[in-house]
Structures are given as C-alpha cells and as structure tokens.
Amino acid sequence: MTITSATFVRGITGPDPLLLSDTPQIAMIGRSNVGKSSVINTLVQKKGLAVTSSTPGRTREINIYNINNAFFLMDLPGYGFARGSHSEREALQRLIYWYLIQSEYHQKYVVLIIDANVGPTANDIETLRTLEVAGKNILIVANKIDKIRPSDYHKQMQKVTNLMGGHTVLPYSAEKKIGTDELREILFGNVKVAE
C-alpha cells in the first residue's frame, strides 16, 4: 500500500466514537523511549507526524493517526518509565490497559516495540504475556538495531527471538530506516484505500 495521507486525528484518554467505526486499528506499544513514535514516522514516511523526544515519557495520551482513510495507527504512551510521579505512571498504565484489554475496541495488530540493543526487559515480557492471554494478534518490532555492535548482532537477535516466545520478530531501525518496507507490508498489506 502506498501511503498517500497520514494525519493526526486527536489524542484520547478515554472512549471515542471514532474507534467504533469499521476502520482497522493498529496499536504501537512499548517501553518508554524505545522509539514508538519514531517507528510511526518512518512507517508513514512523515517526519514529525508523531512527536519524538529524547525525554522518556513524552507521549501521554493515545494519539490517533489516520492513514489513507484506511487505518488508524494508535501511538500509545510508553510503559515502565521510572521517573515521573507514581500517580502519573499509574494513570498511563491504566490508560494502556483499558484501551488494549478492557475496552470493546479491536486491534488488527498490536505491535510490541522493544529495544533490540537492550533486549526484552521483564516489563516487555510481562506485557507480551498479557497480550497473549488477551488473544491479540502480536507483532514484535526490535527497534534500534543500529545500536548493536555488528559482531554481536547475530547473538543478540537470537536472544531477542528466544525471549519473545515464537512470535515474529522484525529487526528495525527508525534511525537508519531498516525494516520499514517489511513493516508497511505486514501491517497495511495490499489493501484498497477508501477515498
């Protein structure tokens, strides 16, 4: 699918009638600072669409992006951010859990983004289990592969794949734009675009 339009719709912190429409939703989830917003920007080839920041915990709402009037790409806040007040972290965690698990909304894909260089954290693995139990259609994107030393690459990716329990792991670099075509193909495929 060629992306002809990608626009920010709005940020939500609760139910939204838009999400009851037939437009498929694709959710991007991951630890704070793993590059969720950067992955979205490279995926839709639009720099600055999703706000990125070197300060973790930047995204505080669920930001909805409209892709070609055919998909809603959902940029979720990051989990596991150690700083920030306890109540704020709890609120973000509740928001993520509500949208993915408790709400009546359906996601075509839940894309779990991890830091390939750091490897899956306990938090990542716990999130994966929760998504599995909820029966989500899961895709793992291992971002920041550009940070892995070339001599460690094979071993590190093997470790990531092993810890991700049989799910497809797509090596990715938002920085170097590696994996973007593959991700676009997996998520959007060859669908017809509603005009």
75: closest CA among 55, 54, 49, 56?
Answer: 49
Residues 29-68 that bind ligand GTP (CB under 6 A): 30, 32-38, 52-54, 56-59
Distance (Å, whole) CA 78 – CA 192: 31
Extract the tokens encoding 178: 């590696």
Distance (Å, whole) CA 138 – CA 170: 12
Of 65-73, 127-135, 139-147, 163-171: span binding ligand GTP (CB under 6 A): 139-147
From candidates 16, 61, 88, 146, binder to ligand GTP by CB under 6 A? 146
From Mg ion, ligand GTP, none, interface partner of 88 (C-beta below 5 to 8 A by class): none
From ligand GTP, Mg ion, none, interface partner of 34 (C-beta below 5 to 8 A by class): ligand GTP
From candidates 33, 41, 42, 59, binder to Mg ion by CB under 5 A? 59
Residues 8-47 that bind Mg ion (CB under 5 A): 36-37
* C-beta separation of 103 from 13 below 8 A: no
Q: Is 48 helix (H, G, I), strand (E, B) or coil?
A: coil
Residue nearest to ligand GTP (CB): 78
Distance (Å, whole) CA 111 – CA 55: 22
The CA–CA distances, whole Å, from 130 to 4, 17, 183 equal 34, 26, 23
From candidates 143, 164, 169, 179, binder to ligand GTP by CB under 6 A? 143
Contacts with ligand GTP by CB under 6 A lie at 30, 32-38, 52-54, 56-59, 77-78, 143-144, 146-147, 173-175
